[in-house]
Structures are given as C-alpha cells and as structure tokens.
Structure 1
C-alpha cells in the first residue's frame, strides 16, 4: 500500500512513519475561509467591507495503522498519542515542495478494521491557514532533488537570492506577502558603511535603516524582528521598521553602504 503523507517534527526532521505502523492514505485540505469586517452606511444599500482575514484551516490526515497483533495495536496507539501531541508539519507525497504547520487539538480514535489493522482520521489545525515551501530561497532550484514542484511559482528567469550590487531584484514565488512579524525572513548584509545603511524595497515602499558603521568583515543580520551586527543586538540603532516581500519580483536598493554581499533566506507561502 502506497504512503501518501509526509510528516516532519517541529524542527523539520522527517518522521519515519513505519516506526509507528502508519501508512498515509489521504490529507484532506479544504478551501480557505475568511472573516470579513463590514460597516453599514445610512442611506447606502448593502455594506462596505473594511477588511478580510484568512481563517485557520482545518485539515484531516487519514492513516492506516498496521500492527503485528492486537497488543501491538495498543502500543502503537499510545505512541501515536505522544506523536500528535505537539506541533508538527504535514504534507502530501505528491506535493513534495509544500508543507503545513499543524497541531491536533480534537480527539481521534482507532477504527478497527481487523485484528492487525486499524484506521485513524486525525483532525488538524493549520493556524496560519497557509502552506509553506519545505525548502527556503537559498536552496538550489533542482527539480530532480524532489524539493520543489510544479505549481509553486518557481521562476524560470535568472533570479538570485544573493547579490553583490546595490540594486537588485528578489522574487517571492508564493501567493502571499512574506511578513517577518510571523513568517521566516532572514536578510544578511556584508559590506562597508561610514554612517548608515538603508535597505529599500522600492516595490512596497518600505525602508529599513541601520544608523551605524559597517567595517570590512562586519555582518548585519535582519532576522524576523531582530537586528544584529556581528551577533550583537543593534535594534535600538535602527528605525525599527520592517521589510516585507510582495508576491512576485521586488526591486531593492541599498544606499549608504558599499555592498560586498547580501542574501535573502525565506520560505514561500501559499493559500
């Protein structure tokens, strides 16, 4: 029987399903749902939509559980209780490039098929309501490595995520804005600056500024909400602004510094 589900622990390490007697049969992924904020205006028909928020996504992972005998079924059941107690990642074997961060909050039970075989339907919640790429932008786009797939928006053009110039493009292949407040985004800058460094996303109009000197060998890192220089926090020396990545190409410019190398390490996110 062919397995159709991948599992990874919270650190991204793939889980050996055979250890738990599991064979993934189906991952049910429903369409997204939204909560809208509306306002009615007197004298105007209908309502005005002020905002639209993506809701958490309920997924269901269906497995066959194979054991050597009934006593083994009970042992595996208890191991599965522990396996599904914490957050983990789930994905489909036939979509090897995407995964979902999920947790199991509702009860489930073994449905006995025969003395050695049972089935389970594990209810899962993807809080973000989004899937994400298994690999990051700094992973080579090698199709034969089974890390990427069709339908991920991977560019055919010669986009790079490491640059040595002050003007460049960064391509976000996902359908969603990459927001470092709740998504992975690590920007590493090596170069020299006498007074300040400004990183400007011309596509979104956002500017990050570090008010400090960079010397040869210094490394400025913007990792989600943190800013460090040579591993020491310099957040207070910044303008306390964030850089996001719009879907598609983002045009960037760096001023105030001579760039030796800049890299963008992030995942792509999909509705």
Structure 2
C-alpha cells in the first residue's frame, strides 16, 4: 500500500510516518470559501460586493494504521493522539512542493479494521486557508529535490530574487498576494545614499521610504512589519508603509540611492 501523505512538525522537520504505523490514503482539500461584505442600494436589484475575506479551510487526512499486534496498535493509538495534538504541516506526496499548516481541534476515533489495523480520519483546520511552498525564493530551483514541483507557476530561470540594479522585476509564483502583515516577507537592501531611499512597487502602488543615509556595507532590512539598520530599529525613520507583492510579476524601482544589492526572501502561497 503506497503512502500518499507527507507530514512535517511545526518547525518544518519531516515526520517519519513508519514510526507511527501510518500510511496516508487521501488528503481531502475543499475549495476556498469567503465571507463577503455587501451593500444594498435602494432601487437597484441585488447587492454591491464591497469585499470578501478568505475563510479557514477544513481538510481531512485519511490514514491506515498498521501495527504488529493488538497491543502494539493500542500503543500507536496513544502516540497518534499526542502527534496530532500539536500544530503541524500536511501535504500530498504527489505535490511535493507545497504544504498546509494545520491543527486538529476536533475529536476523532480510530476505526478497527482487524486485530492489528485501524483506519483514521483526522479533521484538520488551516487557519490561513492557503498552502505554502516548502522552499523560499532563496532556495535553489532544482527539480530533483522535494522542494519544488511542476504546476506551481514557477518561471524557470526568468526571474532572480537578488538584484543589483535600480529597476527590476520580482515574480510571485503564488496566486495569493504576499502581505507582510500576514505572511513572512524579508527584504535586505545594501545601497548608498546621503538622504533617503524609496522602494516602489509599481504593480501594487506601494511605496516604502527610509529617511536617512546608507553605506553599501549597511544592512537595511524590512522583515515583516519591522525595519532595522544594522539590527537597530529604524521604524520611526520610515514612512510607516509596507510593500506587498501581487501574484505574478511585480515591477520594482529603487529611488534616491545607488543599489549595491537587494534581496527578496519569501514563500509562495496558493489557494
């Protein structure tokens, strides 16, 4: 019987399923659903959609548990209760490049198939409602490792995430916008300026500005919502705005400084 499910702990370390007698049979992933904000206008039919928000996703992981004997399967049951009590990642073997951060918060019960075999269905909740790539933009794009896969929207060799020019393109291969308030996004800038530096994403209309001088040896880092220069916070010296990355190509321009190096480090997210 072939295993069809991969598991990782919350730190990203792959879990050896054979230790628990697990054989993954199916990972059920439902379609996304949304909460919508609508407005009614008198005299106009229907409603006007003002916006929508992605809901969490309820996944189901189906396993067979194989043990040596009855006593062994009882022990494995207790170990599985502990295993699924913590947040973890789950993914499909046939899609090795992406995974879901999930939790099991509902009750589940093993179904006895025979004296040494159980079937279990684990109800899972993905709170963000999206899958993430296992690799980041700084992970080498090599197909012989279980980091990437066909069908992820990757552009082989067309885009780089370490740039040395003032104008360049950053490609978000996911179909979800990368917003650093919700998803990790780290930008490292080495540049020279005596006054200020602006980073403009012409695709999204976002502009980040740091008011201060920089030498090429300084590290200006935008990590999520934090801004540091050589590890010291410089948030008060910024325009307190963030850069987001739309799905697909993002046209980036650096103003007010001579670029030595700019690095974009993030994962791709998909519905």
What are the equivalent positions in structure 2 for 1:165-204 lying under 5 Å apart?
165-204=165-204
- Give TM-score, length-normalised by structure 1: 0.97
Aligned to 1:124: 124
1:92: which partner in 2?
92
The Cα shift of 1:193 comes to 1.7
Does 45-54 or 122-131 show the bigger shift?
A: 45-54
Shift of 1:119: 1.0
Shift of 1:215: 1.8
Name the SS of the counterpart of 1:81 in structure 2: helix
- Between the aligned partners of 2:17 and 2:241, the Cα distance in structure 1 is 43
Q: CA RMSD in A?
A: 1.1
Q: What is the rounded CA distance, in whole Å, between the counterparts of 1:268 and 1:246 in structure 2? A: 11
Q: Which moved more, 1:40-49 or 1:258-267?
A: 40-49
What is the number of residues matched between the two proteins? Answer: 271
Look up the SS of the partner of 2:250 in the other structure: strand
In structure 2, distance between residues paired with 1:18 and 1:190: 47
Runs of 4+ more than 6 Å apart: none
- Secondary structure, aligned partner of 2:144: helix
Displacement of 1:216: 3.2
Secondary structure of the structure 2 residue equivalent to 1:78:
helix
Unaligned runs of 5+ in 1: none
Q: Counterparts in 2 of 1:123-162, with a 5 A limit?
A: 123-156=123-156, 158-162=158-162
Distance in 2 between the 1:264 and 1:105 partners? Answer: 35
Please, what TM-score do these two structures have when normalized by structure 2? 0.97
Query: Corresponding residue for 1:15?
Result: 15
Counterpart position of 1:236: 236
